[in-house]
């Protein structure tokens, strides 16, 4: 109750509302999810983050053999308990175990690419370049796309330059997998076309899949320059980011391929270009159409990323909040419902300042 009262005061301060305003309404207007579902979401995330811990961490010795990463069990470890004891036990470790059951992604803290001075960007700082696009300015976006078109025309006249176009699609349906694809062009001709299912992942993770696919294929060919076009430059930066994050296995594969590629000659380089799918550039549109026309149903044992499970918990608690909000005692009869551009009633959300502030602010 104390935490809820503190959150109510924060909502009143944000909105400048009267003290007699209903709690459920002002929290929704301020974009503040009720504190207890928020804390449950943070606990869920904390349990999932146990997968990113080193095998030397003390928690690993308390988990079951499946999740302990080979650490010898502690005398009080879950690995030494039988099913009857685990059923009677109430402990946060059981929540951690339950959270990790659907996670198939593996993490490693102690790898060479993470050592300062040995990272890819430390070893080859003049070989990797990023070209972002300012999507908020139509003029800057037009100039950026013109530069990209000019670069592609030059690349098509050089046999040592490959243009790699990547894209990914996450299908909202629970029974479908995400799809990622990569096309490679040389001398104006398509020399490679690949696509594959990515399991249950978020959109940035699926984009990272596609970037890995494109880079590993391109570096296996006899070239000197790679121009990679993607609509997710953030995933491209993650592809060379040594920190522990979702999709670490793809980062390691990308770094291994690029390190070998750059070691061949000091002039070899890769350029990451930002190109929104809304720009409808011909090369990017071909990849997009090839990918969106593919549907792969979900199997029994899907590859599942940690960010997907985190986003799934967010959606679950948002649904709980919306069901609670629609109760008459929470919304109260004088709450003003607003509609979006599609004439649908706005539902509570805490992303981007909430659903209402953008309309009434």
| The pLDDT value given to residue 14 | 81
| The pLDDT value given to residue 361 | 53
25's CB contacts (< 8 A; 6+ apart) are: 330, 331, 332, 335
Instruction: Dump strand ranges (E) for 72-201.
Output: 128-131, 161-169, 178-186, 189-199
**pLDDT tens sequence across 74-102:** 888 888 887 777 777 777 888 888 888 88
Which regions of the chain carry the CATH code 3.30.420.10? 112-292
Q: Which residue, 9, 12, 38, is CA-closest to 324?
A: 38
| The pLDDT value given to residue 348 | 77
**8 A C-beta contact, residue 262 and residue 255:** no
| The pLDDT value given to residue 359 | 59
**Which residue numbers in the chain have pLDDT < 50?**
none
* Calpha distance 334→336 (Å, rounded): 6
Radius of gyration of the chain (CA): 24
Burial group, residue 161, by CB count within 10 angstroms (0-12, 13-18, 19+)? buried
| The pLDDT value given to residue 208 | 92
Question: Domain 112-292 in CATH: superfamily?
Answer: Ribonuclease H-like superfamily/Ribonuclease H (3.30.420.10)
**8 A C-beta contact, residue 222 and residue 266:** no
Query: In Å, what is the CA distance from 245 to each residue of 53, 201, 358?
Result: 12, 13, 32
Residues 171-185: b if buried by 16+ CB within 10 A, e if exposed: eeeeebbbbbbbbbb
* Calpha distance 358→312 (Å, rounded): 25
* Calpha distance 270→268 (Å, rounded): 7
Determine if the pTM surpasses 0.75: yes
**8 A C-beta contact, residue 252 and residue 222:** no
* Calpha distance 285→302 (Å, rounded): 28
């Amino acid at each position: 109750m104390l935490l809820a009262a503190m959150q109510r005061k924060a909502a009143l301060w944000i909105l400048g509302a009267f003290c007699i305003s209903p709690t459920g309404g002002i929290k929704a207007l301020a974009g503040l999810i009720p504190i207890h579902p928020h804390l449950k979401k943070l606990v869920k995330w904390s349990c999932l983050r146990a997968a990113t811990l080193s095998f030397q961490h003390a928690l690993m010795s308390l988990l079951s053999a499946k999740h302990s990463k080979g650490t010898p069990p502690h005398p009080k470890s879950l690995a030494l308990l039988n099913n009857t004891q685990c059923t009677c036990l109430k402990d946060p470790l059981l929540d951690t175990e339950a959270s990790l059951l659907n996670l198939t992604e593996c993490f490693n803290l102690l790898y060479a690419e993470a050592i300062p001075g040995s990272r890819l960007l430390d070893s080859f700082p003049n070989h990797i370049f990023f070209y972002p696009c300012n999507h908020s300015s139509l003029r800057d976006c037009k100039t950026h796309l013109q530069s990209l078109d000019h670069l592609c025309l030059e690349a098509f006249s050089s046999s040592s330059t490959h243009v790699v176009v990547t894209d990914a699609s996450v299908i909202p349906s629970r029974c479908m997998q995400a799809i990622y694809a990569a096309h490679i062009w040389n001398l104006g001709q398509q020399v490679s076309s690949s696509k594959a299912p990515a399991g249950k992942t978020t959109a940035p993770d699926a984009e990272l899949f596609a970037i890995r696919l494109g880079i590993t294929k391109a570096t296996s060919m006899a070239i000197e320059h790679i121009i990679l076009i993607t609509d997710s430059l953030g995933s491209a930066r993650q592809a060379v980011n040594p920190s522990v994050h979702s999709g670490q296995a793809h980062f390691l594969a990308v770094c291994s391929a690029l390190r070998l590629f750059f070691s061949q000659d000091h002039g070899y380089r890769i350029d990451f270009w930002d190109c929104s799918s809304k720009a409808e550039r011909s090369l990017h549109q071909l990849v997009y159409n090839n990918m969106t026309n593919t549907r792969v149903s979900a199997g029994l044992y899907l590859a599942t990323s940690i960010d997907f499970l985190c986003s799934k918990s967010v959606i679950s608690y948002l649904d709980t909040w919306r069901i609670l909000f629609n109760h008459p005692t929470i919304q109260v009869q004088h709450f003003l419902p607003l509609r979006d551009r599609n004439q649908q009633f706005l539902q509570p959300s805490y992303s981007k300042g909430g659903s209402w502030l953008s309309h009434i602010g």
